[in-house]
């Protein structure tokens, strides 16, 4: 294992919940039956694709301009929520894992579909741990396509097979696996069916666990 490539929302910090709340507010306003179960489909998926999935819950047609306006409305609400993020919002064990990885000389990258990712890393005060943050505006195909994780590995100068990817979304696990990396899923076995290794909480993620699981991979 030469590198660990992290997703952000739901892995480093619980902004996945804020994404949900912001979409929920928009869906309520539009009278669409959006809930937590349906929200699983949105995890790891870009802003505009997420909007399309929500609008598919109803029959109304929107112009592109209206869609951009709705996506902006969600993003403004989301940005209000993340203004309050502090280092205390790092998920359990994440800071000690980042430290352990750094000390062991393992490279670290971020592969998040969120345009708000650099802002959130700064709010969490963990930007310096990252050797590379993939610029999502340069990515043509979002998760589950492997492009974002492959770009992370290429920018770090490591082979995909030497990387571990950490995700909380089905689309993210698929992206990691099709990149040829070892996939660690944070969540329930039902949500993380395709992961190589599943942990219920980020507190279980340690250098030892990642290294030994990657070394013993099938």
Q: Which residue numbers are catalytic?
A: 7, 9
> What tokens does 55 get?
């609008």
**Which residue minimizes CB distance to Mg ion?**
10
> Does residue 7 interact with Mg ion by CB under 5 A?
yes
Backbone angles phi, psi at 142, to 5 degrees: -75, 175
Question: Which one of 12, 44, 185, 199 is in contact with ligand G6P (CB under 6 A)?
Answer: 44
* Residues 58-97 as x/- pattern, contact with ligand G6P by CB under 6 A: -----------------x----------------------
Which of the residues 97 through 136 are near ligand G6P (CB under 6 A)? Answer: 112-116
- Kindly compute the dihedral angle of the four CA atoms of residues 24, 40, 202, 98, in this order, to the nearest 10 degrees: -80
> Does residue 26 interact with ligand G6P by CB under 6 A?
no
Hunting for tokens 């869609």 — which residue is that?
67
At 107 the three-state DSSP class reads strand
The whole-angstrom separation of Cα 183 and Cα 188 is 14
> Does residue 164 interact with ligand G6P by CB under 6 A?
no
The whole-angstrom separation of Cα 208 and Cα 8 is 21
At 101 the three-state DSSP class reads helix
Give the nearest distance from C-beta 114 to Mg ion in angstroms: 9
Q: Can you give the binding site for ligand G6P, defined by CB under 6 A?
A: 9, 16, 19, 42-47, 50, 75, 112-116, 169
């Amino acid at each position: 294992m030469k590198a660990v490539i992290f997703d952000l929302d739901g892995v480093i910090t619980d902004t996945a919940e804020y994404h949900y709340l912001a979409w929920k507010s928009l869906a309520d306003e539009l009278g669409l039956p959006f809930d937590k179960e349906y929200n699983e489909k949105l995890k790891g998926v870009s802003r505009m694709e997420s909007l399309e999935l929500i609008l598919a819950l109803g029959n109304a047609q929107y112009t592109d301009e209206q869609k951009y306006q709705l996506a902006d409305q969600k993003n403004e609400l989301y940005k209000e929520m993340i203004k309050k993020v502090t280092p205390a919002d790092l998920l359990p064990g994440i800071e000690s894992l980042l430290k352990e990885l750094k000390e062991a000389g393992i490279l670290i990258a971020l592969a998040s579909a969120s345009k708000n990712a650099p802002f959130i890393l700064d709010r969490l005060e963990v930007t310096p741990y990252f050797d590379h943050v993939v610029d999502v505006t340069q990515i043509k195909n979002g998760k589950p396509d492997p492009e974002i994780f492959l770009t992370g590995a290429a920018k770090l100068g490591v082979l995909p097979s030497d990387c571990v990817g950490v995700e909380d979304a089905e689309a993210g696990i698929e992206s990691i696996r099709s990149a040829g990396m070892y996939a660690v899923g944070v969540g329930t076995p039902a949500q993380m069916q395709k992961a190589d290794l599943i942990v219920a909480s980020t507190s279980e993620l340690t250098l030892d666990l990642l290294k030994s699981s990657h070394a013993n991979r099938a």
